[in-house]
Structure 1
Amino acid sequence: MAAPMELYCWKGDWGLPSVDVDCLAVLTYARFSGAPLKVHKITNPWKSPSGSLPALRTEENGVISQTHQIITHLRKQKYNADYDLSARQGADTLAFMSLLEEKLLPALIHTFWIDAKNYVEHTRKWYAESIPFPLNFFLPNRMHRQHVERLRMIRGDTWIEDEEELEKELYKDAQECLSLLSQRLGTQKFFFGDFPASLDAHIFSHLALLLKAKLPSSKLQQHLKTLDNLCNYCVSILGMYFAWDTVASQSTSPKKPQAESQDGDEEPHKRRNQILSVAVGLIAMIGYALLSGIVSIQRGSAGNAVASRAAMEEEDEED
């Protein structure tokens, strides 16, 4: 019997199976297509075999870490949610995927990672409380920089340095995108009728995250809540495909930062992670001591001193 495919993705919260848009897209597509995955829901990217989330461990192709590559691999394994789509619907899928990437995703990145109030009081707070010590000292800030760079790459030459003007343009594009999606969905169950496709997985991952997150600053979220069919669409998918996940994520909350668990059988590269964790902890403490003036380095006569996670088997891994 072939070894099961293993998916590593961010854990869920706020009634969602995952708090990350890319992980949520992969999880949703797998549910739609019936792909049998063993899911590891974690809060430490270093426990992923690729060092990033989402990541799919396969017997044939090793580790796959890009969302579109993971979905392509599932299609090649005969788990294809788009099998019954027409050529026209296939073209529509590409068009709407591009719309999401160009118009809605930038606003989501800004909402969660750049908006100062949301970032400090919601996003960074959640990750800092969820990621184990000592990684919670620096991973949230590194993720912030990665999302800012991703936004810059999407915007390209249209990047606006003025923060207020950038926010205004991003939110305007996102509101137009949401209104267009609402008009396209209409009274249908899914975007192509009675059965879900890959487009639904991607749209749901963007909308559900925005709908369910407990944001202190919520202009775009409030606009989404005025579009009843999109809200009902998200609630319907959660109820049909993630009922158990919803109960599980609502019954748990981020733990206090603590040391790594000793669950060695489920943690790839365990020794590497332990060594890195200890090293990072030491560096963080030394850096704090130096910056706060607790410890100082004096120049001596001999020279300078140098310092430098339907049919998926799921498994929640608590750090």
Structure 2
Amino acid sequence: CHSKVMSLVVDAVQATIGASEPWPDDVILYQQYQVEQITLPDYAQCLAVETFLHMCGLRFRVEQRTNAEEMSPSGKVPFIQVGPYLVSEFDPVVGFVSTKGFSLSQNLTDTERSEMRAYISMIENILGNAELYMAWLYPDIAAEVTKPRYGCCYPWPLSWVLPWWKQRDVRARLEANDWASKTCEEVCGEVRTCCQALSERLEKKKFFFGDKPTELDAMVFGHLYTLLTTILPGGHFTAVVQDFDNL
């Protein structure tokens, strides 16, 4: 908890200090190796941030590192390096970018902005936890996909120990959120509820708010594209998402 608070403080200070400086040409987004190493939950987060930066028209390049998590100020990916500043995860990156004068939701009303934040929170709480559950707690996927990928870049015994530690940490997090005790069917039901809410909001429109993409569109794309294109034993989430054609 203390480390999370400190990370938020650091991100806030960095955003304040960096606000007066223009967006540089050498911004780097760090993540794990995409083909061999990155796991389902991390890929969804990385893709959401990449999509957001692209939607803002900002220049950056992706650097893949085996120890991207350890390099991150919050211990999570992705994170961006903007000059001397390191900013990790979706919300802090959005906040930092806004201090540079780039925002996808600047034309929304206060009510629309609050509603957008509520949908983003729903995605983080439902899809984020569901991805962690399926990747690390669903036995077949954890054993056949997630653990081998997470440990692939390390020599034995680290290739066994590090995935075990990560799984333990994820289980503790999901237990704290009352997700660890859910069945696979219950988790899929949560995902369906989330997709239903997003589908009803989008209706037949191209974007969730107005005629331009917002931060919500970037986050939805990151998560749903990952769920649709990642081949996992059972294909549980893919089947759920495919039921919502407009998404």
Return the match for 2:226 from 209, 212, 217: 209
Q: Is the 8 A contact 2:188 2:240 kept in 1?
A: no
1:194 and 2:201 are equivalent in the alignment: no
Cα offsets for 1:114-153 (capped at 9, x unmatched): 1111111222233333x24355333322332232233234
Structure 2, gaps ≥5 residues long = 1-21
Most deviating of 39-48 and 85-94: 39-48
Paired-residue identity, %: 25
Q: Do the aligned residues in 2 keep the contact of 1:122 with 1:214 (CA within 8 Å)?
A: no
| Partners of 2:126 and 2:190 within 8 A in 1 | yes
Among 53, 62, 83, the residue aligned to 2:77 = 53
Q: Any gaps of 5 or more consecutive residues in structure 1?
A: 231-319
C-alpha displacement of 1:100: 1.3
Q: Match for residue 127 of structure 2?
A: 104
- Counterpart in 2 of 1:119? 142
Offset at residue 7 of structure 1 (A): 1.6
Task: Name the structure 1 match of 2:92.
Answer: 69
Decide whether the 8 Å contact of 2:29 with 2:61 is kept in 1. Answer: yes
**Aligned-residue offset at 1:88:** 2.6
- SS, match of residue 223 in structure 1: helix
Q: Deviations over 1:163-191 (max 9, x none)?
A: 4x443433222211112212221222221
Amino acid at match of 1:125: P
Match for residue 102 of structure 2 among 79, 84, 95:
79
Quick check: 1:10–1:23 contact (8 Å CA) kept in 2? no
**Structure 2 Cα separation of the partners of residues 214 and 46 of structure 1:** 23
Q: Taking structure 1 as reference, are residues 48 and 182 closer, same or farther at Cα in structure 2, changes over 3 Å only?
A: same
Query: TM-score scaled by structure 1?
Result: 0.61
Query: Residue deviations 1:262-286, cap 9 Å, x none?
Result: xxxxxxxxxxxxxxxxxxxxxxxxx
Q: Deviations over 1:37-71 (max 9, x none)?
A: 232133332673646422222235x2222431122
Of structures 1 and 2, the one with the larger relative CO (CA 8 A, separation 6+) is 1
Q: Distance in 2 between matches of 1:160 and 1:137?
A: 25
The residue identity in structure 2 corresponding to 1:213 is T
**Rg larger in 1 or in 2?**
1
Question: What does 1:132-143 correspond to in 2, within 5 Å?
Answer: 132-133=154-155, 135-143=158-166
Contact 1:49/1:57, CA 8 A, preserved across alignment = no
Q: Which residue of 1 aligns with 2:170?
A: 147
Number of corresponding residues:
220
Tell me if the contact between 1:57 and 1:63 (Cα under 8 Å) persists in the aligned partners. yes
> Aligned-pair distance for 1:73?
0.6
Distance in structure 2 (CA, Å) of the matches to 1:113 and 1:27: 24
Within the candidate set 30, 49, 52, 2:53 is matched to 30
Q: 2:59 & 2:237 partners in 1: Cα distance?
A: 35
Alpha carbon RMSD of aligned pairs, Å?
2.8
SS of the aligned residue for 1:228 comes to coil
| 1:249 counterpart residue number | none
Match status 1:9 vs 2:31: yes
Name the SS of the counterpart of 1:75 in structure 2.
Answer: helix
Structure 1 residue 13, shift from structure 2 partner: 4.4
Match among 183, 186, 198 for residue 181 of structure 1? 198
State the alpha-carbon separation in 1 of the partners of residues 143 and 29 from structure 2: 29
